[in-house]
Amino acid sequence: MNEIWTEKYRPRSLDDVIGQKDVTQRLKGYVEAKNMSHLMFAGSPGTGKTTCALALARGMFGESWKGNFIELNASDDRGIDTVRGKIKDFARTAPVEGAEFKIIFLDEADALTNDAQGALRRTMEKYSRTCRFILSCNYSSKIIDPIQSRCAVFRFRPLNDDDIREFLEKIASSENLDMEEGAMDSLVYIARGDMRKAVNTLQTSASVGGTITADTVSKVSGTANEKDVLEILTTALGGDFIGSRNKLDTIMINYGLSGQDVIRQIHSAVFTLPLETRDKVRLVDKIGEIEFRLIEGSNEKIQLEALLAYLVMAGGKS
Ligand SMILES: Nc1ncnc2c1ncn2[C@@H]1O[C@H](COP(=O)(O)OP(=O)(O)OP(=O)(O)O)[C@@H](O)[C@H]1O
């Protein structure tokens, strides 16, 4: 139970990476050619960017991959010093064990200031004979154009629910976990395409001991059950303001949710509600307004109750 499952179950080869088939297909081309350009991996967290960089290095360098690969995090030291220091130190030493070049994987490259990116660009040029960079970021638009134009860009999509479910089922079976029906649905709902979040939430839920239930998953992740959120909304739409308010109070206390947590979950539930598209659009507009007020520090109880009141009126049954 001590080992972190995101490491234990991290795919070692490009063939084992889940989803991201377009990306892995192209990366395998580099492995076959034993050569690559600078790369940029863009996409949301927990979708396989670091995993693919490691698998690419393994495929490219075989046994000697560790000596020819370094992983740095740009946000450890937001700025120019990371680029000038650690990167240059690694870049200026020759590749080991007959490799043609080394790979520098720079995570959260979009956290670098523009000045630091300028310095990075010069470093990329200076050492391009012996070093290839893989820049990982959530948003490629935050990377300056001269760097973007030097890189082949790879886009990582959030993983789909079936892929997440299948991966979690494999882990659950190899860890002999006892899971109640519904727990897996909650994990997939909470992950929203982020495999790291899915695996971490599964491990934390397992550490509680006993059968893993949807409720354990919700509690350890500080996320209400999808079913409970829908129930609050449909109760309000059905005209029962007091009933929906009581349910809301209960889930906020049980799961320790903040107003902002709740509003985000309500937002993602809107499109499953039995409403005309026009009414859903109005509701999204209202949610946007209330979320803004909550961020500005308004009283969360009053704001959330105002949203329930709005739903009661929208339902037209009070
Ligand atoms: N496509 C995938 N296939 C299998 N496992 C995955 C995949 N993506 C993520 N994981 C799991 O989630 C963990 C985190 O993934 P990874 O470090 O590759 O994410 P990332 O995209 O680099 O995220 P970040 O942007 O936060 O750095 C991995 O250790 C692995 O267990």
Give the domain ranges of the chain.
Answer: 5-156, 161-221, 226-315
Provide the 3-class DSSP secondary structure of residue 192.
Answer: coil
200 lines ligand 1 (CB under 6 A): no
Q: Dig out the tokens for 67 from the structure.
A: 């000596």
Query: Does the CB atom of residue 197 touch ligand 1 within 6 A?
Result: no
**For 24-28, 75-79, 170-174, which range has the lowest pLDDT when averaged over its residues?**
75-79
Decide which of 260 and 88 is more confident: 260
Class at the top of the CATH hierarchy for domain 226-315: mainly alpha
| H-helix segments, the chain | 5-8, 21-33, 49-61, 80-82, 88-91, 114-126, 145-148, 161-174, 183-191, 195-207, 214-221, 226-237, 241-255, 259-269, 277-295, 300-315
Q: Is 136 in contact with 151 (CB distance < 8 Å)?
A: no
| Stronger pLDDT, 286 or 95, i.e. the higher one | 286
What is the amino acid identity at position 294?
L
Q: Considering only the top CATH level, what class is 161-221?
A: mainly alpha
H or E stretch including 210? none
Looking at the structure, give the CATH architecture of the domain made up of residues 5-156. Answer: 3-Layer(aba) Sandwich (3.40)
**Residue 5 Cα: closest atom of ligand 1:** 31
Among protein residues, the one with the nearest Cα to ligand 1's atom 7 is 48
ipTM: 0.97
Confidence at residue 229, expressed as pLDDT on a 0 to 100 scale: 92
User: Tell me: the pLDDT tens digits for 108-144?
Assistant: 999 888 888 998 899 899 888 899 999 999 999 999 9
pTM (2 d.p.): 0.86
For the Cβ of 6 lying below 6 angstroms from any atom of ligand 1, the answer is yes
Whole-number Å distance between alpha carbons of 132 and 94: 13
Using an 8 Å Cβ cutoff, are 233 and 266 in contact?
yes
For residue 8, the CA-to-ligand 1 centroid distance in Å is 12
pLDDT at 205: 96
- How much is the average pLDDT of 208-233? 90
Interval between CA 232 and ligand 1 midpoint (Å): 34
